[in-house]
């Protein structure tokens, strides 16, 4: 056990506690950024002028008429920017663009005494556009050779030899959709300027430091003149990792120009049409199996649909490549990645950060190939698991592969899988128009930022003379329970009851140079920093206690609110007061960096992850043959969170992540107008009325979540593991169960090509395909596994699994 992972006796970590703000959340008392507006008299409201073209040049911008609208105070345009007119860190995102790059792009912003005045003002602004050709789909972009950023390749083994050795070779294509974050709180910033020109921006941001950087760039000031605070977010899910910066900069610019507070809060329609989403991907692949159903070779090209600018597309793509193996050993691999540049919102981080997209490709391949190999998908997946001693395609040894096996076996047992499969077979044999299926899928997800430098964090811990403790750390709270965990870490490290510890909002003037609260690493990184700060304090107290109790400092203990040694003890508060009078510093700045990481992005090799999080899910669905509608009858999950810091919070994360993943894969349908009409490129699903989110009616009827036991992780704070993102990918089991249920409408051995999202409509088409016979029309080429030398071109020598049938294509591309 390492010092970092070791737990003292009676730790506060590991206790099942409600989220620290749960009662505030549910009573409506929790303050979000926009709730602060009422506390600031004279606040101006910002409204964008959104362009009605997917791609166009701005040929004239005349804002004068806006000033005739009562209540309009100021219109912000590119001419107002004292610093850099850019909202990103790649400098490819003009804040006030002269070329419109997506439908709804804001060309300028109007500030009004009321939001309504600003809205009316925005309607009065005159803009002339020269429409330009727009690339709306990823296939449009590929055909036009429209790419942006680097094109990484990840390679291991000998791909040609692998295919030569393979006895079954298949190839195919797969295009799958992105996802809207749909956080309940839309993007929001509130900026003020003080008498010294110090800018204070309250912002719903996962990355206060970067928001600060961008605001400073736009204003042309040093970072010390800008402070960013985040009270909490009403959900971020990755959508507030990079996207808030431009909005914060608009608010800050408005505040500096008018001297009044400026509030910018997007309406739902604005948020959904302006902010980036999960990347949809296109994948082309060829896979080889040996006679025993083991993967021997995978050759794939992943194209992420990046939208109009780079944003986080490069690291998202890197994580996709690093997760195409999921939990499976693939000896010979070659994966190429590229980022399409299209005329859509700039796609961004979303829970899993590319990992889900990489893993979806391999899970789709296994789900499609299992019937063709004559294997049960449960068996095919299980036999390809990593074993000890193997490494990922990017060269990182896979530590603890046995945990995936333990999770798998536990789900088999507690989920009563064998008996239920027999029941399902019996049910299907007597129901012609309704079919059930059960699928199991594993998750292996790498924890840490790929870019080594981001794996650092800071904290500030104050112990006051009365013994009460105030902590501050660099992470942000978005509902995931990070603050709850940090309170537990501080209470554990100081040996005081939780009630003595309070947490102050995240601010860049308290803890500087922070990383985004992302990559699920919030608790690992900030927990390390909080613990470090607390230990600096206890180290100092230890010397005094040693003298006082006449024992060696190492023998002094801090536990349950008492400082003890040599049989004597003193209440924490009393001892702290004594320490103050002995002139001992009672506060400390903590720091943590994750050791042992290295990553070379140029060759896509290294050990970028501190450890892997594992999990397994089994999902049973029932599909109606007339409509394609389905129910999730039961879900069983065993997930590895190490020794949990906060079990209730972690179970909430597993449940929430799973449901959000199921939403992405089965319900949430982003439809962009692909027609050549005037609305080309417009997002057609821009409200909850048309963009369907999971709700109570889609919850699994039986939902069993267990945390893996005896799962101590030596490399992380108090033996825990990250939990924020990995469970999202347990939802592949839902998609695979739907695939199997659709296949059950056809003869045994039917391979199903299922669109993603697998909406009821898409499932219905899959059922029609299955009913078409053993070999659905579009799969007739794929008779038997291929052997021998396989030429390099996909589809040439391999047996192609064609892209979605025309019907499925239509399903996913209608307006």
116 counts as catalytic: no
C-alpha gyration radius of the chain: 28
List the interface residues with ligand MTE, window 180-199 (CB under 6 A). none
Q: Contact, 700 vs 734, CB < 8 A?
A: no
Among 162, 656, 661, 746, binds ligand MTE (CB under 6 A): 656
Task: Indicate the residue among 17 and 519 with the shorter CB distance to ligand MOS.
Answer: 519
Rounded to an integer, what distance in angstroms lies between the CA atom of residue 615 and that of residue 604? 25
Task: Name which of ligand MOS, ligand MTE, none residue 478 binds, using a CB cut-off of 5 to 8 Å depending on partner kind.
Answer: ligand MTE
Going by C-beta distance under 8 Å and a sequence separation of 6 or more, which residues neighbour residue 589? 458, 459, 460, 511, 533
> Considering only 86-94, 229-237, 274-282, 450-458, which stretch makes contact with ligand MTE by CB under 6 A?
229-237
Q: Which stretch binds ligand MTE (CB under 6 A): 105-113, 116-124, 479-487, 730-738?
A: 479-487
The pair phi, psi for residue 494, each rounded to 5°, is -95, -10
Residues 6+ apart with CB under 8 A from 438: 417, 420, 421, 424, 618, 619, 620, 737, 740
Cβ at position 20, least distance to ligand MTE in Å? 13
Contact set for ligand MOS, span 529-548 (CB under 6 A) = none
Please identify, using beta-carbon distances, which residue of 237 and 329 lies nearer to ligand MOS.
237
276 lies in the site for ligand MTE, by CB under 6 A: no
Q: Per-residue x/- marks for ligand MOS, 208-247, CB under 6 A?
A: ------------------------------x--x------
Shortest spacing between CB 273 and ligand MOS, in angstroms: 21
Quickly tell me which residue has 């994750």 as its tokens.
594
Any residues with CB less than 8 A from the CB of 42 and at least 6 apart, and which? 260, 261
Stretch that binds ligand MOS, among 27-35, 346-354, 507-515, 757-765 (CB under 6 A): 346-354
Q: Determine contact, residues 758/665, Cβ cutoff 8 Å.
A: yes
Tell me the C-alpha distance between 258 and 111, whole Å. Answer: 9
Task: Give start and end residues of each alpha helix (H) in 394-521.
Answer: 402-414, 417-430, 482-494
149 binds, among ligand MTE, ligand MOS, none (CB under 5 to 8 A by kind): none
* Stretch (H or E) spanning 251: helix 244-258
In the complex with ligand MTE, the residue whose CB is nearer, 282 or 351, is 351
Interacting residue with ligand MTE among 517, 605, 686, 720 (CB under 6 A): 517
700 lies in the binding site for ligand MTE (CB under 6 A):
no
Do 106 and 50 touch, CB atoms closer than 8 A?
yes
Q: Which of 349, 494, 662, 711 binds ligand MOS (CB under 6 A)?
A: 349
Q: Are 121 and 66 in contact (CB under 8 A)?
A: yes
Question: To the nearest whole angstrom, how small is the minimum distance from the Cβ of residue 143 to ligand MOS?
Answer: 30
Look at residue 643 and give the partner it binds from ligand MOS, ligand MTE, none, a contact being a CB closer than 5 to 8 Å depending on partner kind.
Answer: none
Task: Decide if residue 129 touches ligand MOS (CB under 6 A).
Answer: no
* The one segment of 155-163, 424-432, 472-480, 629-637 that binds ligand MTE by CB under 6 A: 472-480
Cα three-residue angle 131-134-138, rounded to 5 degrees: 170
Should residue 250 be labelled a site residue for ligand MOS when binding is judged by CB under 6 A? Answer: no
CB of 717 to ligand MOS, least distance (A): 18
Count CA within 13 A, CB hemisphere, residue 10: 12
Q: What does the block give as tokens for 772?
A: 């078409």
User: Which of 656, 800 has the CB closer to ligand MTE?
Assistant: 656
Q: Which of 238, 356, 700, 786 binds ligand MTE (CB under 6 A)?
A: 238
Find the shortest distance in angstroms from Cβ 455 to ligand MOS: 13
Residue among 353, 454, 609, 691 that touches ligand MOS (CB under 6 A): 353
Q: Which residue in the list 477, 713, 725, 736 is annotated as catalytic? A: 725
CB atoms within 10 A of CB 793: 10
Tokens of 152: 């990484």
User: Residues 678, 682, 685, 686: is their CA dihedral positive or negative?
Assistant: negative
Tokens, residue 356? 């889900």
CB 470 → ligand MOS: shortest distance, Å? Answer: 26
> Considering only residues 235, 276, 642, 785, which one is a binding residue for ligand MTE as defined by CB under 6 A?
235
Contacts of 708 (CB under 8 A, 6+ apart): 403, 406, 407, 410, 614, 615, 638, 639, 640, 641
Indicate whether 351 belongs to the interface with ligand MOS (CB under 6 A): yes
User: Dihedrals φ, ψ of 657, to 5°?
Assistant: -65, -45
Q: Interface mask (CB under 6 A) for ligand MTE, residues 711-730, using x and -?
A: -----------x-xx-----
Comparing CB distances to ligand MTE, the nearer of 417 and 723 is 723
**Least distance to ligand MTE, CB of residue 675, Å:** 33
User: By CB under 6 A, which span of 15-23, 109-117, 347-355, 404-412 interacts with ligand MOS?
Assistant: 347-355
The residue at minimum Cβ distance from ligand MTE is 522
Interaction between residue 312 and ligand MTE (CB under 6 A) = no
473 binds ligand MOS (CB under 6 A): no
Choice from 231, 490, 518, 637 touching ligand MOS (CB under 6 A)? 518
Q: Which of residues 280-319 bind ligand MOS (CB under 6 A)?
A: none
Q: Which of 390, 315, 304 is nearest to 339 (CA)?
A: 304
First to last CA, the chain: 56
| Cβ proximity of 586 and 537 under 8 Å | yes
- Of 441 and 506, nearer to ligand MTE (C-beta) is 506
Nearest distance, CB of residue 473 and ligand MOS, angstroms: 17
Which DSSP string do the residues of 43-84 spell out, in sequence order? -EEEEEEE-S-SSEEEEEEE-GGGGGSTTEEEEE-GGG-SS-
User: Least Å distance between CB 238 and ligand MOS?
Assistant: 3
Q: Does 519 bind ligand MOS (CB under 6 A)?
A: yes
Extract the tokens encoding 663.
Answer: 């939403």
**625 in contact with ligand MTE (CB under 6 A):** no
Q: From CA 469, how far away is CA 65, in angstroms rounded?
A: 55
Q: Which residues face 204 on adjacent strands? A: none
Backbone angles phi, psi at 649, to 5 degrees: -60, -45
**Counting contacts by CB under 6 A, is residue 206 touching ligand MOS?**
yes
When the beta carbons of 406 and 660 are compared against ligand MOS, the nearer one is: 660
CA dist 411 and 220 (Å) reads 56
- Least distance (Å) between residue 449 CB and ligand MOS: 9
Query: CB under 8 Å to 552, separation ≥6 — which residues?
Result: 546
User: Which residues contribute to the site for ligand MTE (CB under 6 A)?
Assistant: 235-238, 351, 478-480, 482, 517-523, 653, 656, 722, 724-725
Binding site for ligand MOS (CB under 6 A): 206, 238, 241, 349-351, 353, 518-519, 725
Q: Which residues are catalytic?
A: 725
């Amino acid at each position: 056990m390492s010092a970092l992972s070791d737990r003292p006796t009676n730790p506060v970590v590991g206790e099942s506690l409600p989220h620290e703000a749960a009662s505030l959340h549910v009573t409506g008392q929790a303050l979000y950024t926009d709730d602060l507006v009422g506390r600031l008299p004279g606040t101006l409201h910002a409204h964008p002028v959104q362009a009605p073209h997917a791609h166009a040049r701005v040929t004239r911008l005349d804002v004068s008429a806006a000033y005739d609208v009562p209540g309009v105070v100021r219109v912000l345009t590119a001419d107002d920017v004292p610093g850099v007119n850019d909202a990103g860190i790649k400098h490819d995102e003009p804040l006030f663009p002269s070329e419109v790059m997506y439908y709804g792009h804001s060309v300028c912003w109007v500030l009004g005494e009321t939001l309504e005045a600003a809205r009316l003002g925005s309607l009065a602004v005159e803009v002339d556009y020269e429409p330009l050709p727009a690339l709306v789909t990823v296939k449009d972009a590929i055909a036009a050779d429209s790419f942006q950023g680097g094109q990484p390749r990840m390679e291991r083994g000998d791909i040609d030899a692998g295919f030569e050795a393979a006895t079954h070779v298949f190839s195919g294509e797969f295009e799958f959709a992105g996802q809207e974050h749909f956080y309940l709180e839309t993007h929001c910033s509130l900026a003020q300027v003080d008498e010294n020109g110090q800018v204070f921006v309250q912002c719903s941001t996962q990355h206060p430091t970067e928001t600060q950087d961008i605001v400073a760039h736009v204003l042309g000031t040093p970072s010390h003149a800008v402070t960013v605070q985040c009270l909490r977010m009403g959900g971020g899910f990755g959508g507030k990792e990079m996207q808030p910066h431009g909005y914060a900069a608009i608010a800050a610019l408005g505040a500096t120009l008018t001297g009044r507070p400026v509030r910018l809060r997007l309406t739902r329609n604005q948020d959904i049409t302006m902010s980036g989403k999960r990347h949809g991907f296109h994948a082309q692949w060829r896979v080889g199996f040996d006679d025993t159903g083991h993967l021997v070779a995978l050759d794939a090209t992943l194209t992420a649909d990046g939208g109009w600018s780079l944003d986080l597309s490069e690291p998202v793509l890197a994580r996709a490549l690093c997760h195409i193996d999921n939990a499976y050993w693939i000896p010979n691999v070659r994966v190429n990645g590229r980022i399409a540049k299209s005329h859509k919102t700039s796609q961004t981080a979303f829970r899993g950060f590319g990992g889900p997209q990489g893993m979806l490709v391999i899970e789709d391949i296994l789900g499609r190939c299992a019937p063709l190999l004559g294997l049960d998908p449960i068996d095919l997946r299980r036999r390809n698991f990593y074993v000890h001693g193997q490494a990922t395609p990017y060269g990182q040894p896979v530590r603890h592969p046995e945990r995936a096996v333990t999770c798998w076996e536990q789900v088999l047992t507690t989920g009563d899988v064998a008996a239920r499969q027999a029941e399902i077979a019996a049910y299907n044999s007597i129901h012609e128009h309704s079919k059930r299926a059960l699928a199991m899928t594993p998750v292996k997800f790498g924890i840490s930022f790929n870019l080594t430098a981001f794996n650092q964090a800071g904290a500030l811990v104050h112990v006051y003379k009365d013994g009460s403790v105030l902590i501050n750390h660099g992470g942000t709270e978005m509902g995931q329970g990070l603050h709850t965990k940090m309170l537990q870490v501080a209470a554990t490290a100081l040996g005081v009851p939780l009630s003595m510890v309070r947490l102050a909002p995240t601010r860049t003037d308290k803890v500087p140079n922070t990383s985004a609260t992302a990559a699920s690493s919030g608790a690992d990184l900030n927990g390390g920093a909080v613990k470090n700060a607390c230990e600096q304090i206890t180290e100092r107290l230890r010397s005094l206690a040693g003298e006082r109790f006449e024992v060696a400092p190492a023998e002094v203990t801090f536990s349950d609110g008492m400082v003890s040694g040599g049989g004597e003890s003193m209440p924490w508060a009393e001892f702290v007061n004594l320490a103050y009078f002995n002139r001992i510093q009672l506060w400390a700045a903590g720091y943590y960096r994750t050791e042992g990481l290295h990553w070379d992005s140029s060759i896509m090799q290294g050990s970028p992850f501190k450890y892997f999080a594992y999990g397994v899910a089994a999902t049973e669905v029932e599909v109606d043959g007339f409509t394609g509608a389905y129910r999730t009858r039961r879900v069983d999950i065993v997930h590895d969170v190490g020794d949990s810091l906060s079990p209730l919070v972690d179970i909430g994360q597993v449940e929430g992540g799973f449901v959000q993943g199921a939403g992405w894969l089965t319900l949430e349908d982003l439809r962009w107008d692909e027609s050549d009409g005037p609305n080309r490129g417009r997002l057609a699903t821009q409200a909850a009325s048309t963009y369907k989110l999971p709700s109570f009616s889609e919850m699994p009827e039986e939902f069993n979540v267990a945390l893996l036991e005896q799962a101590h992780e030596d490399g992380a704070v108090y033996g825990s593991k990250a939990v924020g993102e990995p469970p999202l990918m347990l939802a592949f089991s839902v998609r695979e169960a739907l695939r199997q249920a659709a296949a059950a409408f056809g003869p045994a051995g039917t391979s199903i090509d299922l669109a993603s999202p697998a909406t009821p409509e898409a499932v219905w088409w899959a059922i029609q395909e299955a009913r078409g016979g053993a070999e659905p029309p579009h799969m007739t080429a794929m008779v038997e596994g291929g052997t021998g030398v396989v030429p390099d071109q996909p589809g040439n020598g391999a047996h192609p699994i064609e892209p979605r049938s025309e019907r499925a294509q239509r399903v996913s591309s209608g307006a």
